[in-house]
């Protein structure tokens, strides 16, 4: 079976990771969580590599940036995909928990992982899991806006994401200290929120005590992203 290439790309303003995955044997590709300000960069790399973009996968309705999904679809005819619980209008595919799609010979599984938002989805693709704002490297996404639930995020990570093998590579949507990826085994051992040694009660208490300002662009980004990034 051919190897999947993964290009991890960064938006400096919102510290967001976008992932381009492709299979060189037939040049099919998918993109995960693209950012509107980086549209030209992403189109440029897709063209240089001569890739056909099949799917635009969103892990959730982002509050910190607007997705380039609509523009990318116009330019490439790729299909926009979200979790079915997001309430998004205009997507081509709305995943239920466990739904699968393929690109090249690779299977992508959509896993409903609510908690940061109700509609959050993680994507498992051949030894890698793209966890959005559900599981970060030694952290978890915020649960204090957009239907956030610290109880749900704990259960999503512990019961669903942590059910994958320890060597599975974890690719988050953000990192605030320059780390790129992790593994399930590392997170079970060292994650201070949802690691093996942290009880749900302790996590819920800790989440309650957090008090942070809302993301700067939340009032613009959420309505736009509920329409696949149309402003």
Q: Which is nearer to Fe ion, 148 or 203 (CB)?
A: 148
Residue with tokens 């938002």: 117
The nearest distance, CB 197 to Fe ion, in angstroms, is: 26
User: Measuring CA to CA, which residue among 57, 204, 84, 64 is closest to residue 146?
Assistant: 64
Count of CA atoms in the C-beta half-sphere (13 A) of 169: 10
User: What does the alpha-carbon distance between residue 212 and residue 190 come to, in Å, rounded to a whole number?
Assistant: 23
- The residues with which 132 forms a beta bridge, in sequence order, are 172
User: What does the alpha-carbon distance between residue 93 and residue 84 come to, in Å, rounded to a whole number?
Assistant: 8
Q: Which is nearer to Fe ion, 29 or 193 (CB)?
A: 193
- Is residue 187 within the footprint of Fe ion (CB under 5 A)? no
- The residue within the footprint of Fe ion, chosen from 28, 33, 133, 138 (CB under 5 A), is 133
The nearest distance, CB 61 to Fe ion, in angstroms, is: 8
Per-residue binding letters, 34-73, with Fe ion (x by CB under 5 A): ----------------------------x-----------
User: What does the alpha-carbon distance between residue 29 and residue 75 come to, in Å, rounded to a whole number?
Assistant: 14
Task: Choose the stretch contacting Fe ion; rule: CB under 5 A; options: 7-15, 47-55, 130-138, 196-204.
Answer: 130-138
Task: Choose the stretch contacting Fe ion; rule: CB under 5 A; options: 10-18, 41-49, 65-73, 125-133.
Answer: 125-133
How far lies 208's CA from each of 144, 191, 205, 211, in Å?
9, 18, 5, 8
Task: Choose the stretch contacting Fe ion; rule: CB under 5 A; options: 7-15, 79-87, 103-111, 126-134.
Answer: 126-134
Question: Rule CB under 5 A: which residues touch Fe ion?
Answer: 62, 133
């Amino acid at each position: 079976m051919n190897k999947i290439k993964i290009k991890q790309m960064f938006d400096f303003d919102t510290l967001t990771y976008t992932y381009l995955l492709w299979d060189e044997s037939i040049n099919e590709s998918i993109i995960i969580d693209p950012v509107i300000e980086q549209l030209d960069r992403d189109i440029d790399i897709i063209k240089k590599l001569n890739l056909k973009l099949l799917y635009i996968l969103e892990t959730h309705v982002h509050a910190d940036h607007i997705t380039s999904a609509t523009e990318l679809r116009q330019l490439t005819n790729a299909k926009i995909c979200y979790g079915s619980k997001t309430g998004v209008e205009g997507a081509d595919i709305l995943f239920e928990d466990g739904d699968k799609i393929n690109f090249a010979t690779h299977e992508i599984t959509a896993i409903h992982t609510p908690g940061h938002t109700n509609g959050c989805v993680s994507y498992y693709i051949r030894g890698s899991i793209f966890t959005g704002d559900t599981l970060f490297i030694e952290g978890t996404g915020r649960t204090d806006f957009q239907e956030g639930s610290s109880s749900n995020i704990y259960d999503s990570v512990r019961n669903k994401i942590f059910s994958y093998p320890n060597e599975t590579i974890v690719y988050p949507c953000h990192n605030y200290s320059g780390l790129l990826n992790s593994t399930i085994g590392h997170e079970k051992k060292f994650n201070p929120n949802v690691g093996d040694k942290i009880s749900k009660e302790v996590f819920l208490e800790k989440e309650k005590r957090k008090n942070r300002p809302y993301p700067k662009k939340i009032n613009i980004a959420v309505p736009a992203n509920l329409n696949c990034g149309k402003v």
